[in-house]
Structure 1
Amino acid sequence: MAEDNADDAAGTWLTIEDAASALGVKKAAIRSRIARKTLRVKPGKSQNDGRTRVWVLHSDVKDETGTGANADNDTDDGGDTIAGMMAALQSAHSAEIERLRSTHAEEIDRLQRSHEAELKRLAEANRGWLERLISSLRGQK
């Protein structure tokens, strides 16, 4: 069974997709391990992004030869290295950053357009008042 205290073993919490990549198995294999309770699970509802995470021991991550220290028999053909796992994580992280930038850039553009329109409206509303003030000041001379 999976280690009950994940903090005692060297590892990391990964999404099912990232865990499959790191362990060199298919996502179905990870789900099978979850069902067999051989991986510790952190349910998606406890995560900000809603994705289920599993605790993957560093010793289980595939090395250059395609085997890990505690590899199961449900492996896929190829084995990923820690560098491959890092590349997958960096790729997922970059995609999320781009998604957030895009979302926020659209919101910033919308707010800037709204702000500019409001400034124009206020300038137009105040123009009459300002012209009257200048005219009255000129008349006092």
Structure 2
Amino acid sequence: MNIALWIVAGLLAAAFLASGLMKMLRPTEDLKKAGMAWVDLFSPGAVKAIGAVEALAAIGLILPAVLDIAPILVPLAALGLVLVMIGAAITHARMNDYKGMPPSIVLMLLAAFVAWGRFGPYAF
């Protein structure tokens, strides 16, 4: 199970680091052209803040455990991603974009799995 938690945490970290950096580095107009219509609901600063939260959580999923410095940050980062993905699913639902909800829900469930495992039976 420990290996499964590492694999899921690594995949989540890669996905959220890429997603977060994209939101921080690209203008909101480019994000909208890329299919992220939800950016119209938020200010450019809020979109960049969401990207920063995602990138920091991605780092928090891996780095504390690898360096063995405050490994409690791993499940906290996973829990933070659960909350971000709940917000993403709600945003998609408010926009009637029901095709955009399943990826958010899947990512939320994967982050919840990491939080459960690292808070519970497979803590560091």
Higher relative contact order (CA 8 A, sep 6+): 2
Higher CA-based Rg: 1
TM-score band by shorter chain is under 0.3
Q: Taking structure 2 as the reference length, what is the TM-score of the superposition?
A: 0.28
